[in-house]
Amino acid sequence: MSRNAAHAGPYALGTFAAGGRSFAGLVVGQRVHPLEELSGLPHPSVRELLEHWESTRPALDALADRVADDEPGLELLELELLKTLPPVEPRQIFQSGANYRTHVMDLAAADRKPGETRTAEEIREEVGRQQDARAASGEPYVFTGLVSAMCGAYDDVVLPEGTKKNDFELELAAVIGRPARRVSVEDALDHVAGYTIVNDVTTREWVWRRDLPELGTDWFRGKNSPTFLPTGPFLVPADFVGDPMDLRVTLKLNGDVMQDESTKDMIFDVAQLVSYCSSIATLLPGDLVLTGSPAGNGMHWGRLLRAGDVMESEITGLGVQRNGCRDE
CA end-to-end span of the chain = 27
β-partners of residue 151 are 230
Mean per-residue pLDDT for 128-146?
A: 92
Residue 107 confidence (pLDDT) above 80 = no
Q: Where in the chain is the domain with CATH 3.90.850.10?
A: 93-327
Residue 200 confidence (pLDDT) above 50 = yes
Cα-Cα-Cα-Cα dihedral sign, residues 213, 214, 217, 222 = negative
Q: Which of helix, strand or coil describes residue 167?
A: strand
Residue 67's alpha-carbon distances to 50, 120, 150, 155, 326, in angstroms, are: 21, 55, 30, 28, 38
pLDDT of residue 293: 96
Q: Is 257 buried (19+), middle (13-18) or exposed (0-12) by CB count in 10 A?
A: exposed
Q: What is d(CA 19, CA 168) in angstroms, rounded to the nearest whole number?
A: 32
* Residue-averaged pLDDT of the chain: 94
Q: What is d(CA 32, CA 24) in angstroms, rounded to the nearest whole number?
A: 9
Please say whether the beta carbons of 14 and 233 come within 8 A: yes
Going by C-alpha positions, the residue among 250, 260, 247 that lies closest to residue 322 is 250
Using 50, 70 and 90 to split pLDDT, how confident is the model at 112? confident
Task: Identify the DSSP state of 308.
Answer: T
pLDDT of residue 2: 45
Fold (CATH) for 93-327? Fumarylacetoacetate hydrolase; domain 2 (3.90.850)
Q: What is d(CA 137, CA 45) in angstroms, rounded to the nearest whole number?
A: 40
Is residue 236 within a helix (H) or strand (E), and if so which, with residue range?
strand 236-237
Q: What are phi and psi of 132, to 5 degrees?
A: -65, -40
Going by C-alpha positions, the residue among 71, 85, 83, 90 that lies closest to residue 28 is 71
Residue 263 confidence (pLDDT) above 70 = yes
Please say whether the beta carbons of 179 and 285 come within 8 A: yes
Using 50, 70 and 90 to split pLDDT, how confident is the model at 1? very low
Q: What is d(CA 128, CA 133) in angstroms, rounded to the nearest whole number?
A: 9
Is residue 192 within a helix (H) or strand (E), and if so which, with residue range?
strand 192-199
Is residue 21 within a helix (H) or strand (E), and if so which, with residue range?
strand 21-28
- Measured from the Cβ of residue 154, the count of other Cβ atoms closer than 10 Å reads 17
Is residue 260 within a helix (H) or strand (E), and if so which, with residue range?
strand 256-262
201 versus 103: the higher-pLDDT residue is: 201
Is residue 218 within a helix (H) or strand (E), and if so which, with residue range?
none
